[in-house]
Amino acid sequence: MKKSVEEYVRSIPDFPEPGIIFRDITSVLQDAEGLHMAIDEMQALIDADKVDVIAGTESRGFIFGAPIAYNLHKPFVLIRKKGKLPCETVSRSYDLEYGTAEIEMHKDAIKPGQRVVVIDDLLATGGTLEACNKLIEELGGVVAKNVFLIELAGLKGREKLKDYEVASVIRYD
């Protein structure tokens, strides 16, 4: 019988810190069928007629965001960790399940009124996507949806993203 995409995700206890169950996507990507299913099932959550731009968050969001943008024939915009983008940027700091970070976007990445779908591999606390959504809004964009391969529902990221439409392929409680 055909495996589901969920069966390709590997769970590693106590990484990178004691108490964290790390949901590893490398085991999805390393299998041609797993990679196809992940991209196709994330893409199926997007209504292409209601989006102008696909954005991806560094780094794991790039893996899924770029092929989806390519397939839908939409532009792809990078949301990068601080210090990587060469032109004028807007930036925002945020908290993660473990640690803190700061992300940036080019000021010319989004034009006012553009509808943006943000792609990431995984929703944990929602800190990353909340920061991404705020940056897009600061640039005048409209966040159409946040799409994930994996959602860690127990960390209540959806509550942090309650003002946005959120969809995921795989859910862990």
Q: Which residues bind ligand ADE (CB under 6 A)?
A: 20-23, 96-97, 122, 124, 152
Instruction: Establish whether 60 is a catalytic residue.
Output: yes
Considering only residues 17 to 76 of the shown chain, the ones binding ligand PRP according to CB under 6 A are: 57-60
Distance from C-alpha of 120 to C-alpha of 46, rounded to nearest angstrom: 13
**Shortest reach from residue 117's CB to ligand PRP, in Å:** 15
Distance from C-alpha of 150 to C-alpha of 172, rounded to nearest angstrom: 8
* Set 6, 41, 97, 137: catalytic member: 97
Instruction: Establish whether 97 is a catalytic residue.
Output: yes
Our CB check for Mg ion shows the closer of 4 and 59 to be 59
**Shortest reach from residue 15's CB to ligand ADE, in Å:** 8
* Strands of 166-172's sheet in order across: 89-95, 100-106, 76-81, 53-57, 115-123, 142-152, 166-172
Of the candidates 55, 122, 166, 170, which one interacts with ligand PRP according to CB under 6 A?
122
Binding site for Mg ion (CB under 5 A): 60
22 binds, among Mg ion, ligand ADE, ligand PRP, none (CB under 5 to 8 A by kind): ligand ADE
**Shortest reach from residue 35's CB to Mg ion, in Å:** 17
Residue 63 identity (one-letter amino acid)? I
Residue 4 identity (one-letter amino acid)? S
45 alpha-carbon distance from chain centroid: 13
* Set 60, 80, 92, 151: catalytic member: 60
Say if CB 132 and CB 164 are below 8 A apart.
Answer: no
Find, among 122, 127, 144, the residue nearest to 60 by Cα: 122
20 binds, among ligand ADE, Mg ion, ligand PRP, none (CB under 5 to 8 A by kind): ligand ADE
- Residue 91's contacts (CB-CB under 8 Å, 6 or more residues apart) are 82, 102, 103, 104, 105, 135
What are the residues binding ligand PRP (CB under 6 A)?
Answer: 57-60, 96-97, 101, 120-128, 157
Instruction: Show which residues are catalytic.
Output: 60, 97
